[in-house]
């Protein structure tokens, strides 16, 4: 049975369900307890589960990532919140050199089951140091899984799936999605990681989008449908490990593909998706070049209009999709 929840409420519900179900699960991070999280996502969990399992911490991202790694190795299932994805930079050594590699280096004798939740993305006027999308850094690192849910239902289900996973998972939550609403199933409903989903079916163009860009692609699809152009919107949901086949099947079906993400274009996830498509059987079905629409290669501006122009908007997706379908460019 489903009811309407916000993206933030869905995440909070997933955390609470996991903590009720498994006493090894605990939540920690800066201001997750008394304050309820930088965006209010964890509000009320301290009162519900107490200070042993919901822990406010000092400002030290490197230490927090080390604590998550160590606790996971000893049998706990930590959920760590880093307030802004930008500050994941301070925890890179623990995440990349320790958490990602210890299971491999110890011959599989330990698991590292923790989830690092982090808000990402532009659109809040938070400027260059609080607005980044750095997911592809971790896609590049073997041993770490990367999840980017786009809907409240996916946020709940994929977070439960991530908590169950025996590997470290970077769980990226876009700030502008927190207040969005959608149907969310009741109860304990985990979604296994690495399951790409077609969010909307169409025959003229495949749009592969991530996180907030899924919602914008769906809005663009509604606009273009009035012109007789039918977009198929595909959401990878888990960036690594990627479920490739639904993307390949969609491109074979439509013969055109537009890849949309918010992170800077150079070195972004769209390049990996383009390479996968180009190296697959879908290549022979293409009627137009693979196109990428992404953030500009610059720090996120503070000025609201400049910030808006830096990342793909609905009208940008409409324009790019229209050109691909009508002009093949």
Judged on CB neighbours under 10 Å (0-12, 13-18, 19+), 187 is exposed
Which of the following is catalytic: 13, 30, 130, 174?
Answer: 130
CA–CA dist 232, 244 (Å, integer): 15
| 323 neighbors 307 (Cβ within 8 angstroms) | no
CA–CA distances in Å: residue 13 to residues 44, 72, 89, 101, 221: 11, 22, 28, 31, 31
Instruction: Put residue 203 in one of left, alpha, beta given phi > 0 → left and psi -120 to 50 → alpha.
Output: alpha
Q: How many CA atoms lie within 13 A of 256 on its CB side?
A: 21
CA–CA dist 205, 231 (Å, integer): 5
Contacts for 183 with CB less than 8 Å, ≥ 6 apart: 2, 3, 4, 152, 153
Which of the following is catalytic: 13, 30, 61, 232?
Answer: 61
* Collapsed DSSP state (helix, strand, coil) of residue 231: strand
Longest CA span, the chain = 60
CA–CA dist 80, 64 (Å, integer): 7
Instruction: Put residue 76 in one of left, alpha, beta given phi > 0 → left and psi -120 to 50 → alpha.
Output: beta
Does residue 61 carry a catalytic annotation?
yes
CA–CA dist 312, 296 (Å, integer): 9
| 42 neighbors 12 (Cβ within 8 angstroms) | yes
Does residue 130 carry a catalytic annotation?
yes
Query: What is the layout of strands, in order, in the sheet containing 145-147?
Result: 54-56, 25-29, 77-81, 115-120, 169-174, 145-147, 238-240
Catalytic residues: 61, 130
């Amino acid at each position: 049975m489903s009811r309407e929840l916000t993206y933030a409420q869905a995440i909070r519900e997933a955390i609470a369900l996991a903590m009720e179900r498994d006493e090894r699960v605990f939540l920690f991070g800066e201001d997750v307890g008394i304050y309820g999280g930088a965006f209010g996502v964890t509000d009320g969990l301290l009162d519900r589960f107490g200070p042993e399992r919901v822990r406010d911490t000092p400002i030290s991202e490197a230490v927090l990532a080390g604590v998550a790694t160590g606790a996971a190795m000893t049998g706990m299932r930590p959920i760590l919140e880093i307030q802004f994805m930008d500050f994941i930079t301070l925890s890179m050594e623990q995440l990349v050199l320790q958490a990602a590699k210890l299971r491999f280096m110890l011959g599989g004798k330990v698991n590292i089951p923790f989830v690092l939740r982090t808000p990402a993305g532009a659109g809040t006027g938070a400027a260059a140091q609080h607005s980044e999308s750095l997911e592809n850094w971790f896609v590049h690192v073997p041993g770490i899984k990367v999840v980017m849910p786009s809907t409240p239902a996916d946020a709940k289900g994929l977070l439960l799936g991530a908590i169950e996973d025996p590997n470290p998972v970077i769980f990226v939550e876009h700030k502008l999605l927190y207040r969005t609403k959608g149907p969310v199933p009741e109860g304990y409903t985990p979604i296994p990681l690495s399951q790409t989903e077609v969010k909307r079916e169409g025959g003229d163009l495949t749009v592969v989008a991530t996180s907030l860009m899924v919602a914008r692609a769906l809005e663009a699809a509604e606009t273009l449908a009035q012109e007789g152009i039918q977009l198929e919107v595909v959401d990878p949901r888990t960036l690594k490990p990627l479920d490739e086949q639904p993307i390949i099947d969609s491109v074979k079906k439509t013969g055109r593909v537009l890849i949309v993400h918010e992170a800077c274009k150079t070195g972004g996830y769209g390049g990996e998706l383009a390479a996968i498509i180009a190296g697959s059987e879908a290549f022979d079905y293409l009627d137009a070049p693979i196109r990428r629409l992404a953030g500009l290669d610059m720090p996120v501006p503070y000025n609201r209009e400049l910030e808006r122009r830096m990342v793909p908007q609905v009208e940008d997706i409409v324009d790019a999709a229209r050109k691909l379908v009508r002009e093949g460019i």
